[in-house]
Structure 1
Amino acid sequence: MEKHHHEKKTLWVVLLTAVTMVVEIIYGIITNSMALLADGIHMGSHVLAIGLSWLAYVLVRRLSASGTFKGESKKILSLSGYSSGLMLLIFALVIMVEAIERIFHPTDIVYKEAILVAIIGLFVNIASAFLLHHDHEHSDHNIRAAYLHVIADALTSLTAIIGLTAAMKWDIPFIDTVAAIISSLVIIKWSVGLLKDSGAALLDLPGSHEHHHHH
């Protein structure tokens, strides 16, 4: 039953995040804010990632119910975590390249709207983190991946808010770009960690469970 409970919560987080992400990406484009766009894309990778973990739950439940599946269902969860990590890495690199181009071709940013949307994003992330936190089990790569995604999201939202506010105050669009780059560095760090952990679990390497606690 308790696994089923995970599924429901995870699905809610996916839906919440998906809506916010669309808003952030659209406004990131409208307001020309690189940091907001980075935040939105970052969220998008999480919608995919958390969506994957939700699917993994459903799969594991179906397969363990069918009884014909003799493999290790944990592997599915690790694979889902691994795919998430890979996607995050790709997104981060895309944002990085975009942001670096933006340094050479600065654009005008509609600050007030961008900041407002980033704040909404932050609240959604915090709400999602609370939803997921109660299910925070170390044995479960999946909920852990989803939880980390949401926390990482809250951080990029925060970076975007701070970056945009500073850029608006002193009229330096460059800060927005720097915020986007910082965000992508954070994403890269998370994704590499996730790839290491889930990869180790996939390959049954010793130590795949020991270093769960580090960030």
Structure 2
Amino acid sequence: MERKKKILIIVIILNLIIVISQIVFGIYAHSLALITDAVHNFQDVISLIIAFVAAVYMAKKPTDTMTFGYLRSEAMAGFINSAFLVGAIVLIIITSIERLFFPQEIDSVYVIVVGFIAFVVNALSAYFLGLHKHSDDHKHEDLNIKAAYLHLLSDAGISLGVVIGGIVIYLYKVYWVDPLISILFSLYIFKETLPVLKKTYMILMESVPKDINLTEIEEIILKNCDGIKEIHDLHVWSLSSKDIYLSAHIVLESTVTVEEFDKIVMKLHKLLNEKGINHITIQPETNKFKCPNVF
């Protein structure tokens, strides 16, 4: 966690330097392209700050009022970052299409130099976050870090497009190349962002995780645990990319003792843990005192 926060702080500082440089040189060179890229980079600074705040809150322990802790802050930050990125990409594509028909003349030398610096810093920032993204358990991605990573990858691609466009403009005075490259990169990032947006939305809506099949889970419980007659009110949901919860009511045979029920619960923990479910709450019942389904 400390390593994650240090990486985010470094990346935030680097991107703030990019934003300030692009605004200053964009105004000096009368380059709308650099100023537009600075606005996009500034949005990434905001998203990185959100990611940092989420990383801090993810480490906080549960309290009397926040009994689950702040685990869902990861999904909330990932959803906000991805949603803003989708909106930014749409605006960039619209602006790029307009510039295909109405190209603007810019000072290509400043665009090439500053754009290249922005590309290098964004690429390095994305690389650092990418290393952290893959250093954790491969089965569980930190959606918060992945969303920030995609933001930086987006900026690197767009900055590279600005550089290439600046070179072509400098050599051939062909101004429509810059928006064309931006459109191509934007479409790629848009495709990569939508799955993150969908996954974080489903976590916030407490849907069943993608890799979990409720019918299969019910069969595992009934077939592998003697003494269980029926299972109902079964719920499986995620609080974060690493925390999957299950709650269920199980109807026991009338002969099952408390000690035997403890053994059943221990066995369920082992079986369900193999499916990625690491938090389990089981309510035992008998036919006589079976609670009705809540949902």
**TM-score (ref. length: structure 2):** 0.62
Shift of 1:206: 3.5
Tell me the amino acid that sits aligned with residue 75 of structure 2: S
Tell me the amino acid that sits aligned with residue 94 of structure 1: L
Indicate conservation of the 8 Å contact 2:82/2:193, yes or no: yes
Alignment counterpart, residue 113 of structure 1, candidates 110, 116, 120: 110
Does the C-alpha gap of structure 1 residues 156 and 104 become closer, same or farther in structure 2, counting only changes over 3 Å? closer
Indicate conservation of the 8 Å contact 2:34/2:115, yes or no: yes
Superposition CA RMSD, Å: 2.6
> Percentage identity across aligned positions?
27
Residue matched to 1:97: 94
User: Matched residues in 2 for 1:181 and 1:148: separation?
Assistant: 16
Residue matched to 1:54: 52
Q: Which has the higher strand share?
A: 2
Shift of 1:119: 0.7
Deviations 1:93-124 (A, max 9, x none): 22233223323332211101101011101111
User: Matched residues in 2 for 1:196 and 1:122: separation?
Assistant: 28
Shift of 1:185: 2.5
Indicate conservation of the 8 Å contact 2:100/2:176, yes or no: yes
Q: Which one is further off, 27-36 or 134-143?
A: 27-36
Q: What 5-or-longer segments of structure 2 have no aligned partner?
A: 213-240, 242-295
Partner of 1:106, secondary structure, is coil
Residue matched to 2:70: 73
Alignment counterpart, residue 184 of structure 1, candidates 183, 186, 203: 186
Does the C-alpha gap of structure 1 residues 121 and 9 become closer, same or farther in structure 2, counting only changes over 3 Å? same
Map 1:121-160; keep pairs closer than 5 Å: 121-136=118-133, 137=136, 138-160=140-162
Q: Which one is further off, 18-27 or 194-203?
A: 18-27
User: Matched residues in 1 for 2:118 and 2:211: separation?
Assistant: 32
Residue matched to 1:16: 14
Shift of 1:35: 4.9
Question: How many aligned residue pairs are there?
Answer: 208
Indicate the structure (1 or 2) with the bigger Cα radius of gyration: 2
Does the C-alpha gap of structure 1 residues 33 and 131 become closer, same or farther in structure 2, counting only changes over 3 Å? same
Residue matched to 2:38: 40
Indicate conservation of the 8 Å contact 1:32/1:107, yes or no: no
Indicate conservation of the 8 Å contact 1:50/1:146, yes or no: yes
Which has the bigger relative contact order, CA under 8 A and spacing at least 6?
1
Q: Which has the higher helix share?
A: 1
Tell me the amino acid that sits aligned with residue 18 of structure 2: T
User: Matched residues in 2 for 1:188 and 1:134: separation?
Assistant: 22
Q: What 5-or-longer segments of structure 1 have no aligned partner?
A: none
Shift of 1:203: 2.4
User: Matched residues in 1 for 2:211 and 2:15: separation?
Assistant: 28
Does the C-alpha gap of structure 1 residues 93 and 107 become closer, same or farther in structure 2, counting only changes over 3 Å? same
Partner of 1:135, secondary structure, is helix
**TM-score (ref. length: structure 1):** 0.82
User: Matched residues in 2 for 1:12 and 1:65: separation?
Assistant: 28
Indicate conservation of the 8 Å contact 2:15/2:122, yes or no: yes
Residue matched to 1:203: 205
